[in-house]
Amino acid sequence: MSPVRQSSPGSTRSCPHCRATILESAAICPACKKYLRFEPGAAARATPTFSPLAVEGTIRHPDAGEPWEYSVVVVIKNEKGEEVKRQVVGVGALQPNEGRTFSFAVEVFAPPGTRVPGSLANR
């Protein structure tokens, strides 16, 4: 078995299965859910330590009228309010009487043994 590569926090790579940009430390791809390496504890590291933000919402087109178009945009800003990343993750259209549910979550993976404040760990 090959040793686990040591990398700096936040380093990325491409998933060999779906080509999504993922953390280099990931043992399971968060996009396609396929295993990237098999080693003891890989599944435990694939589970987020906590999720400080999770939002879900649904939109429904009324049963009459023209189709509605939509874009799903994710924006990440730093502590100064400066935009770090903006990405369109999906686009589409709703025909009359169609609906879509959108979910968004931020998952944090803290190193083993890290003490997470109780107010964050319970989310």
**Same-domain check for residues 32 and 53:** no
Between strands 12-14 and 21-23, the pairing is antiparallel
**Report field, pTM of the whole predicted structure over 0.75:** no
Domain boundaries, position 62: 49-123
Task: From 31, 47, 63, give the residue that closes a domain.
Answer: 47
With tokens 């009487």, the residue in question is 97
Q: Which residue has the higher pLDDT, 42 or 25?
A: 25
Q: How far, in Å, CA of 35 to CA of 41, rounded?
A: 12
Between strands 68-77 and 83-94, the pairing is antiparallel
Residue pLDDT, tens place only, 35-91: 887 766 666 666 778 888 999 999 999 999 999 999 999 999 999 999 999 999 999
**Same-domain check for residues 42 and 61:** no
Please, how many CA atoms are within 13 Å of residue 73, restricted to the half-sphere of its CB?
6
**Same-domain check for residues 58 and 102:** yes
